Structure 1
Amino acid sequence: MPRSAEQFNEIRTQKKELIIDASLELFAENGFHATSMSQIAKKAGISKGLAYNYFESKKEILDQIIQRGLDAIYSNLETDPDGTLSDEEFVHFIRENFMILRSNHHFWRLYYSLLLQPQIADSLKSLYLKSAQPILKILQNFILSKGHKNPESTFVAISAMLEGAYMLTVTTPELFDDGTIEEQRITACFKILNN
């Protein structure tokens, strides 16, 4: 009995997931440039030709990995229909991001190690700027609503503090798994915002 279009799509999705998972592991372990499509295909349990059937290049795979990470974080920023952000929504965004990091620790540890590779910076920058624009605007408006005259510098301070806490949560979960770091960061954010 021939497969249906739905079955083909399911198989295609599964193979793409295998390739992405294998790539993420290998990129984090060996580095992006030191990993070949042959290694990716072998780890995914498919032929190199089939890997190229799903992705044109390692760069395309890398871009999808980075985009997934950004989408996971940004999808948690709930806003009112008017595009404003309340204190409660801001706190929810922070807490949800910590939950995402804790719930898929393996992915995020590999993701962060991948982002620390200098060769990855260009891919990250272009994808980040594309994905982050709507979120940056919402966060800058939130900061402006708190009376800050220079929302960009306040945004950088808050982002750096949160990103550092996210990385600590991923790299040393045994020290920061009780939720204290997230509550401390929320308090610190509001100290900055209400100053």
Structure 2
Amino acid sequence: MKKFLKFGCGSVIALIVLGIIIGALSDSEEPKKENDKVETVANNSDATKDTKNETNEKDKEKETNNKDLEIYKNEIVVHLDAFQDEYDKHWTNNWVTTFEGVGNGTVDRYKAYETLNSLEKYYTGLGNKIRNTELPELSKENQKLLKNYLSDLQSAILTRSRAASEAADMFDKGEFKPSEMEKIQSTVVYADQEVVSALVERTTLEQKLGLIK
């Protein structure tokens, strides 16, 4: 009986102690759960703020692009089209026809020299015209694309001017060496590469503005 009582009392004490420990653990869990709830609410709030900020940024970007689009369509594109038209038209009308004429005997070296000399001056003038044309500014990234386009186009124009000068010099001296022809052809190819770079910049700009899908 004493052994039983001794065992029984120990069990009761153990149960009491266990109960105290469980209660303590339960009490410690409650604040944790509350803290978790507070943290979750805070995280959700931050996520909502981030979403709102992202939406606002997209709205601002869209509004900026819309403004740029109107400026580009109404005040810029007419100049760019004119620059490109002049770049191509005078090449076809002077360079191409001169070399075709020399090839079939309808243009002599004196006429070729005169035409190519004029073409050199024309392209130098066109490059200066682009440099001195004041265009309205767009937003930062779109303005960068526009400047890159104009810079590459000017480089192509000046390179064509150099090609015309080299060709005029060749006719003036009457030195129709294969090496001279190859040098001139390399200059023409380089100009073509520069104008392709310009068109890539313009196409990228017009895609950003929604003019090209």
TM class, shorter-length:
under 0.3
Larger Rg, first or second structure (1 or 2): 2
TM-score, normalization: structure 1? Answer: 0.24
* TM-score, length basis structure 2: 0.23
